[in-house]
Structure 1
Amino acid sequence: MKKIICLKCKSHLEALSEKIPLSKAALDILQTPRKILQFKIPLTKDTGEKVVFDGYRVQYNNALGPTKGGIRFHQEVHLDEVKLLSFLMALKCSLVSLPYGGAKGGITLDPSQLSQNELEQVSQAYVRELFNDIGPNQDVPAPDVGTNNLIMDYMQEEYSKIAGKPALATFTGKSVGKGGSAGRVQATAMGGFYVLEEYLKQEKIDLKELRVVIQGFGNVGSHLADILWRKGAKIIALSDAKRALYKEEGLNIEKVLLEQKEKGCVPEASLMGAKEITNQELLELPCDVMAPAAISHQITLNNANNIKAKIILEMANAPIAPEADEVLNKKGLVVIPDILANAGGVIVSYFEWLQNLNNEIWEEEMVLRELKQKIISSFKKVSLIAGEKNYDLRTAANMVAIERILMAEKQRGNYLES
């Protein structure tokens, strides 16, 4: 039977193998997803109309433990994307020393076009399709783009109903009153902040002097903007799917968040004393830090030469296309890679899983303290290797992650070095 490889992962690994020697056996393991689940999800809408959506779950590698990764609801979800994101999750969990492999899932739909009742039905149907393939010691899903704690609550309740017993540890990112962890909502943004803060400290850069651009103003982007603004950084531009705002003197993030809460999107420029710009113009603004926190491949060969940020903090998954990476490196930009920068979410998901398994409840202070310790420890390891081997941070992070996965595969007899 012919192996189904992940072509985007293969390209990613081939580019990496120019810097890090990877044997044919290693490449074979790393470019091949362990299990791909693909199915249809029928829905009868509130109007009586019948529709069918495509559903996916890819369990990429489980050498280090149960697979772990989000479920996204988005109209552009497709199998190749899910395979790549599950591969990146495997690297992320390995890099930050979690006892997890990598997975990802999704449904091709626009959640804004469905009622809450329809979203609940779709979520329950997704769990019914995957019931035999997920579980606390098998595959542990979490929220992602287009999903949230309420969707996880629907899924966890459906799973427990089918199982005939409570199974809180099957899903993470749940509501706090339903087995979720304190600190989970802001965890990804806090993790990104801790990594950036440590990098700035290392380079002796004053955070209060930063001019920051944030692309994407959902859960991650809005929390990151709020954290940095409260710490004294100047947020000169931000965007969501509807519009992008630019204000050279800096936006009042507290006011933006209040308007966003009321209107459901980034407010009009005139309300913020700002100028409305395009998403492309936002990406190309001169700034100290740019944090892409939206979707994949926002920086490509088409615009890489126009990027003027000094530091890119990858809060989205794969916001820089692999072929654009080399362009940015040659320009001298520092990229803090996604598998490190946005690992805060999966780290606190791990804490939630532990709390559920052990019937514990941690205070938010403890969650954030443990998150900070774990993610800074990972950053220091990556930074040390980057310095010793003259690697960029992405190459160093990938090396740490891949070596740990291959060691686990070797220990269970699946990988023979050649």
Structure 2
Amino acid sequence: MTIESPLEKSPVSLFTDASSRLEMALKYVNISEDALKRLKYPKASLSVSIPVRMDNGSLQVFQGYRVRYDDTRGPGKGGVRFHPNVSLDEVQSLAFWMTFKCALLNLPFGGAKGGITLNPKALSRQELERLSRGYIDAIADFIGPDIDILAPDVYTNSMIMGWMMDQYSIIQRQVSPAVVTGKPLMMGGSQGRNTATATGAYYVINTILPKFDQLPERTTVAIQGFGKVGAVLAELLCKAGYKVVAVSDSQGGIYAETGLDIPNIRRYKQQSQSIQELYCNDTVCDIVEHEIISNEDLLKLDVDVLIPAALENQITAANAEQIQAQYIFEVANGPTTSAADPILEDKGIYVFPDILVNAGGVTVSYFEWVQNRSGLYWTLEEVHQRLKERMVEETEQTWNVAQEFSIPMRTAAYVHGLHRLGEALDAKGTRDYYQNGNH
């Protein structure tokens, strides 16, 4: 059964490409036709206009979105991104991925996502606060601790999440910390949430590479995306003995064959950032001690491990043939197109999918939600231990599915998640149940 978007009929839409990954998985899982029909469409999609009074007195209107793709296993869960390329097609695709990510990690959530189309670096702190609160004003009836829970994503952070939680609480006239995760600690945030995506990816990498006898000290790594996730992961890998030879951000990258001093590079970026700004305007290209390369060059480096940790559609049919890495761990959402997958597979490259590798963020968001609702808060050590147990367990289960059916890890991840989604959807009743009259 072909799954296509009811909102975007273009064959090149991101959603069409994202949903095509299910086609392979359907061959290896027994799922009812009823469940498939329900997974074809998002449960609800919302587009809103957000008027913001700018610092100079002018009025600008921004376009915002929120999509709740599925809530069969629990309330929707997904981040909010601020980026110039945000569109309904992108947000719907991200909500679709979140649906399978939450099922894959066995979290009691469905999939959702949100975003606002803008360049956040062009706004002042006050303008960003007005925009963030305006977004909540526009979608307040669409979200809630038991309906749809927000979190940070690209170019959003704990400060912005705090504004959003506070605005929702104002609207509801009650403190509602569980509506947003990734908040500041003093507003009910969880220990370890800011670094959860990177830490979870680190656990996946350390679970997988020993299966190939790939030792850290003999492993070279290139990371595209030196932001709040990629930079943390780079330092974790560096401290564990991996040789990180290249990193990049939106402006370009640096490369050193003998390995980069990641802690010093991180300190450089942090120190050069103005404390008056929410976002870092500097780039790793400013570090001139190393060879300067482009983002495209980084993807093609002869390294053992390639980690795309930036945005979607970085590895495509156009450049997949030039990829030389043996292992790809997708930390970004959707960095590899479906057309690139068979090319990489033919080259013998192992791809470990985003819905598994970057699931640490939503997992600790789940922990934060649980802590908010119980009023009991965990230490950083407890969070890390629970995260490690969850990531290792689901990585091993996905690996076992891949071995059982001799299929790529991406397909195995969808099989694993689809099995749980199918069971939850079928529990509400199927055609066979009603036709057979069973009770």
- The normalised TM-score by structure 1 is 0.96
Comparing 262-271 and 350-359, the one that deviates more:
262-271
Aligned to 1:397: 413
- Aligned equivalents of 1:245 and 1:116: distance in 2? 30
Aligned to 1:279: 295
- Aligned equivalents of 1:171 and 1:340: distance in 2? 22
Cα displacement (A) at 1:243: 2.0
Contact in 2 for aligned 1:314/1:338 (Cα 8 Å): yes
| Amino acid in structure 1 at the alignment position of 2:242 | A
Contact in 1 for aligned 2:28/2:415 (Cα 8 Å): no
Cα displacement (A) at 1:129: 1.0
The 3 A distance-change label for structure 1 pair 353 and 25 is same
Cα displacement (A) at 1:278: 1.1
- Aligned equivalents of 1:329 and 1:50: distance in 2? 50
| Amino acid in structure 1 at the alignment position of 2:325 | A
2:339 counterpart SS class? helix
Contact in 2 for aligned 1:169/1:353 (Cα 8 Å): yes
Matched, 1:251 2:268: no
- Aligned equivalents of 1:22 and 1:116: distance in 2? 48
Aligned to 2:283: 266
List per-residue Cα deviations over 1:31-54 (Å, max 9, x = no partner). Answer: 210000111111111011211111
Contact in 2 for aligned 1:26/1:415 (Cα 8 Å): no
Matched, 1:82 2:91: yes
Within 5 Å, give how 1:59-78 maps onto structure 2. 59-78=68-87
List per-residue Cα deviations over 1:216-264 (Å, max 9, x = no partner). Answer: 0111100000100111111111000122111111111111011111233
Aligned to 1:212: 221
Aligned to 2:277: none
Comparing 242-251 and 196-205, the one that deviates more:
196-205
Cα displacement (A) at 1:133: 1.3
Task: Provide the aligned length of Structure 1 versus Structure 2.
Answer: 415
- The normalised TM-score by structure 2 is 0.91
Q: Structure 2, unaligned stretches of length 5 or more?
A: 8-14, 273-279
Aligned to 1:171: 180
Contact in 2 for aligned 1:13/1:27 (Cα 8 Å): no
Among 164, 171, 182, the alignment partner of 1:162 is 171
Contact in 1 for aligned 2:18/2:338 (Cα 8 Å): no
- Aligned equivalents of 1:192 and 1:9: distance in 2? 21
The 3 A distance-change label for structure 1 pair 10 and 375 is closer
RMSD: 1.7
Contact in 1 for aligned 2:24/2:411 (Cα 8 Å): no
Contact in 2 for aligned 1:192/1:315 (Cα 8 Å): yes
| Amino acid in structure 2 at the alignment position of 1:138 | I
Contact in 1 for aligned 2:43/2:70 (Cα 8 Å): yes
Aligned to 1:377: 393
Aligned to 2:10: none
Identity %: 41
Among 231, 238, 243, the alignment partner of 1:229 is 238
Contact in 2 for aligned 1:410/1:416 (Cα 8 Å): no
Contact in 2 for aligned 1:25/1:416 (Cα 8 Å): no
The 3 A distance-change label for structure 1 pair 199 and 252 is same
Contact in 1 for aligned 2:22/2:414 (Cα 8 Å): no
Comparing 284-293 and 10-19, the one that deviates more:
10-19
Aligned to 2:351: 335
Cα displacement (A) at 1:202: 2.3
Matched, 1:299 2:315: yes
Cα displacement (A) at 1:267: 3.5
Q: Structure 1, unaligned stretches of length 5 or more?
A: none
